[in-house]
Structure 1
Amino acid sequence: MHLLQAGVDITVIALWLGHESPVTTHGYVEADLAMKERALATIGPPEIKRTRYRPTDALLKFLESL
């Protein structure tokens, strides 16, 4: 766990432990709260402008005619 917290890649840890696959190593390590917070801090919200959908008058007229 300390190696993972220090930023050592899980594939390197798997090799050091003699595991055939990083999947095996994953069973022994879990991300702690501090690691999750650091991961979330590296990403930001998407740059998407949120707008409310407003149908055109032609669409509303068509829907009313149904």
Structure 2
Amino acid sequence: MPWQPDPPSGNEEQAVARHMRAEYGVIAWYGHATGRWWPMQAGQLVDARTPDDLRNTLSGGRLH
């Protein structure tokens, strides 16, 4: 099983969500049941393991 980062604290989760909204115009959230970050981009649900992975996905337009 691949390494999974620890879940973010409430403050970290809010900070990442605010940053994603400001920089990429998406609403993003952390799925506590899935352990993944989720935003909607171009009408598609996208997921990423870490905030850095999420930034890479959103900036490159790659959908998983």
Q: Pick the TM interval, shorter chain.
A: under 0.3
More helix by share: 1
Identify the structure with bigger relative contact order (alpha carbons < 8 Å, sequence gap 6+).
Answer: 2
TM-score (normalised: structure 2): 0.24
More strand by share: 2
